[in-house]
Structure formats: C-alpha cells, structure tokens
Structure 1
C-alpha cells in the first residue's frame, strides 16, 4: 500500500484524481492545507495547479518542501495557467516532473515512481533492519544501536499496531487500547495526533523498520512485509 498526497484547492476534482481514488495499490489523501510535518508518511505528493493554487503558491510550497523532505513531487499543471518558463522554475525548485492534465500519462509516471520506491524498499530489506521494544523504559531499540524514547501512550499505540502487524488497526482499536474508552467515546483527532508523534520520532531513522501506513477513514497498518526484522520484548 502506497500513500499518495494530492494537494488541491480546486472543486470538483479532475479525472486523474478519480483514477487514483479507486486504485487498490494506493491510499489517496486529498490535502487542502499542506502540513510539512506530515510529508514523512507520504510516498508521492501531487500538486494540482489552478487559479486557487497558482504559480506563486506552488513555488513557495516547493521551497518549503525541499527544506524538509526528498519526497517525490509532481506538478499537475493547468494549461490555462502554466507557461514554459513556469515549468522550468518548478523543476529548478525541486519538482520531479511537471505534467498536463493527461490522466493516462500521469498515471504511468506515478506507477514508474512507485516501482522505484518498491525497489528501494527491497534494497532496505537486503540490508536488514530490526527493532526491540523495551517496556520498562518505554523505548525502542532500532537496528541494535539507536534508542528511540516514547511516551507511555506512544509506546502503547505502537504495541497495539505491532500485535496486528500487516493488518488494519482501526481508530477505535487504538483509542480503546490507549485510553481505555469504548468506540462510542472515540476522539479521532487524539488518535491521529498520537500516531503522528510516533511517525515523527522514526522519520529520520535510516532504514527504520517502523513504517505506519494510513488506511483512509479506517485507521493504520504497521507494515512489516518489506523488512527483515527482529521484534523482541
């Protein structure tokens, strides 16, 4: 499962968005306000140019993105807005590609990128990766040499995800496991914030075995299929 962010202020969405939305290989998240701290959970970011999200806005976003992330960024250009010079500026600022609203072409580009990501994941697997949960200290030992400290609630959330690794864990499951309250009392924003904090603590770890994928509107998956890892208590 790949996470694709689709940054757009236009309504309704174009045909390419609709294609992505039904792709079973992808978890698609429509983004109306770009949060740079959330880039670590994405594999690809698509920015849709429009009157509402214009050349100046996109240039500013690219500058900020490249300060914090090497994520693949594609610009879906608006034929009425983009000229050749603006395409060149996008590329110079770090965009990986600028494309017109041709759904088939952009679909192939994204699939090629995902193949590269898959290859990189396999290479990480070959290198090996491990993590050890240490309940007494509420921390995780990564690759036998790097200790990541977690709060008690963060440690509980990660433990819940691991016990159902490679399976979907709902917001309700995490909320009940961490806060001990039933689904009728669910506060989804608390779960999202907690998982976001866990992700941030592992986002800068090279070859981190902790990969939490978002399952839109349902919850999360701790993906361990892509890694050779040892998990110990």
Structure 2
C-alpha cells in the first residue's frame, strides 16, 4: 500500500522497557517507545493506538516518503507479487547495546521492517526478548535481519542467557545463529540474521549467518568497525 510502518523498543538496567509497533507517520519511533517506558504502566503500544499516544505526547505527523522510495515502490507494484520477498537488502535495523561508566547496561532497537511486507507484519525489533534484551547482571544483545527467524528462538534473550552460562558475547551470538540454522537448515541458506552483544565486563562480540555483517564499536579508546564472523 506504500505506507511505511515503524517498530522500536528500548530497555534499561532496571528491566524497564517500552515498545511501539506498526506505527505510521511518526518519525523517531524509539523516542515514542521511550515515552511509553517512562510515562505508562505498559510495555508495548501498537498501530493506531501507538500513533494516538505519540500525538498526545507532542510528536508530529510526518509522511516521511522520499522520491526514491516512492519510485521504487511503484516499480515493485509493476513486477512483483504481493507477498514479502526476503533478501539481504530489503531490511535493516538500528540496534544499540551499551555499558556505561557506572557498569549499567541498556539497549535500543529501531526499524522500518522488511520492504514490501504484508500489511500488519511486525518483526523482531519491537519485541523484548527477540530483537533486544538487557539483563544488568549479565549483558545485553540486539539483532538484525529476518525478524521471523529471530522471533522463533527468542534470539536476544537466548544470547543473554548463554552469556549467563559463561559464554563470551561472540560465542553466545554464534550459539543463537547455530540454533536458528539447526531448526531451519534449508531456509537459512537464503537468510541473513546478525546478533551483537556486550557483557557486564565490557567484552563485546557479534555473529551472523551470511558474510557481510558489520557492527560499530565505540570505547574510550575510539571507534572501530568490526566484520562479524559468519556461519557460511
């Protein structure tokens, strides 16, 4: 239908969390998710209710359609079937996990989801435990890629729990990817999912299904772009 829908969630060191999904015509969904976390007793708001909440809290309607994306959508309408087409280029997510100077963890995740998806589709990004999870005793994790696969294994929660068991962040991310592949071995050959994680000691790591996934690291020593190891 040519309408962009946005998803986001945020979680702090006290297990406080907020989420919005299927949010239309509101920029910066992560800010709306934070407002949910800080001002309501709820965790997730969806669709028109999330939009109404945003408007009542000072956010403005914005169509955020640029000429390039509109042109691509019109071209897709001419040539594609009306079903979600999964590839490495048609989805992207901004995921952040952080450890502050006081040793506290937090994270956030925001996305417009898969391109040309069936209306109503929501991926992993706004789901606490799938696209993002934070446990201040252990670590934090976020995910990107094909959200359906992340949801199936509660991916970010799984990574944090494996860090609780003593795995390094990279090994925990690899464990989640390998479980995903074990469950759906044939499908995984055409999918991309990546995890990044940080533990309570400040160690970090990532792992993905296909080559080409990078993540940025910022520390007191500076910034670095890391090529994550991959299964294939």
* TM-score, with structure 1 as normaliser: 0.26
Q: Which has the higher contact order (CA 8 A, sep 6+)?
A: 1
- Larger of the two Rg values belongs to structure: 1
Structure holding more helix per residue:
1
* TM-score, with structure 2 as normaliser: 0.26
